[in-house]
Amino acid sequence: MINDSQRWFWLMLFALSLVLFKLLSPVLAPFLLAALLAYIADPVVSWIESSGASRTLAVIIIFVVVLILLLFSLLILLPLLGRQLAQVPDHIAWLQGQVIPLLRPYLGEQVINEIAQIDVLASIQQHWQQAGDVMLQLIQQVTQSGAHLIAWMVNMLLVPVVSFYLLRDWDVLINRVHGLLPRDKEALISSLVMESHGVLGAFMRGQLLVMLVLTMLYALGLYWIGLDSFLLLAVVSGVVSFVPYLGLLVGVVFAGIAAYMQYETMLPVIQVLAIFGLAQIIEMVVLTPYFVGDRVGLHPVVVIFSIMAGGELLGFMGILLALPVAAVILVLLRSIKRHYLQSAVYDSSESG
């Protein structure tokens, strides 16, 4: 049993950890992001290592593959996305000229006039023209807040460096932490950690695969119907699908609008609905059960609330910590539930 002095010790340690965490939050963000990336990539590194390669070589292989994929994106995908983004002003002009007048009977004259006064196209074109002054603005930013810019660049460079060392020494670090656990609580803590690892690992890695497959399905479907901005819409819808059902909503709305603007008929819009509906069915029936599994147990409402609460409390770092904390809390609640169902409080007949 834990006596009063031990209880106060752990409470003080927990309070001190919270204070330090709050004070060091700006510095911790790149380290937490690096730890998250290392956690996701560790099974792949272990798989390469099992084939006979050293741990360091396995990590180098992962970094080379990721670098090649990034270069591929920069050389091929980004120019294509840039051309599709250049069509955004034309889409906005079409909305202002075609859609807004149709809403006049429903929104009223005053609302339509207020919307008409918002010249979105002119604002975008103005910023487009200012794009040539990016270097001048960057120089001004460096002279005005050079310390912040340098700190941001250092943080971005820290992420791959820290990820490399964490991946290389991952097993060593885990064993050292395991060796520091109190011996009388080692079995319980290890059990809870393994259960948390199962929940979080299955969700994070599975959800990333689901996002990737959905992006490919969206891109193929929208390309099949000939939508000019198919890649941009597919990438946006696939990325935001991390939040349950948000990718479906964003894709249907924006791809539907883009399809009608391009063809000015309802058939492509119906095809867009069919594409995203079919992708949603594939996600629910095949992708989520296969990649994520039923044992994860993170309800969509819990995921949405965790991300929003983490972002509100700690900003970007809170978003990084939202799902790991939610997974740990879920495991603790499951453990409490098991103990409760086995206790005399739940079934008083056991104490009789």
Q: Are 259 and 271 in contact (CB under 8 A)?
A: yes
pLDDT tens track for 292-341: 665 556 677 777 787 778 777 766 667 767 777 777 788 788 888 887 77
3-state helix, strand and coil shares in percent for the chain, rounded to the nearest 5? 85, 0, 15
pLDDT tens track for 176-209: 888 877 777 778 778 888 877 777 777 777 778 8
Q: Are 218 and 237 in contact (CB under 8 A)?
A: yes
Q: Which residues of 148-161 are buried (b: 16+ CB within 10 A; e: fewer)?
A: eeeeeeeeeebbee
Q: What is the mean pLDDT of the chain?
A: 75
Token output for 256? 């539907």
pTM of the model: 0.64
| HSE-up of residue 237 (Cα within 13 Å, Cβ side) | 31
For residue 105, name the pLDDT band (cuts at 50, 70, 90).
Answer: low
List CB contacts of 88: < 8 A, sequence separation 6 or more: 124
User: Cα–Cα distance between 78 and 29 in angstroms, integer?
Assistant: 27
DSSP letter at 118 equals -
List CB contacts of 125: < 8 A, sequence separation 6 or more: 89
In this prediction, residue 81 carries a pLDDT of 66
pLDDT tens track for 242-300: 777 788 888 898 888 888 888 888 898 899 999 999 998 988 888 877 776 655 566 77
CA separation, residue 348 to residues 90, 149, 222, 343, 351 (Å): 71, 63, 61, 8, 6
Token output for 6? 């031990």
Residue 157 has pLDDT above 50, yes or no: yes
Angle at 166 between CA 162 and CA 172, to 5 degrees: 150
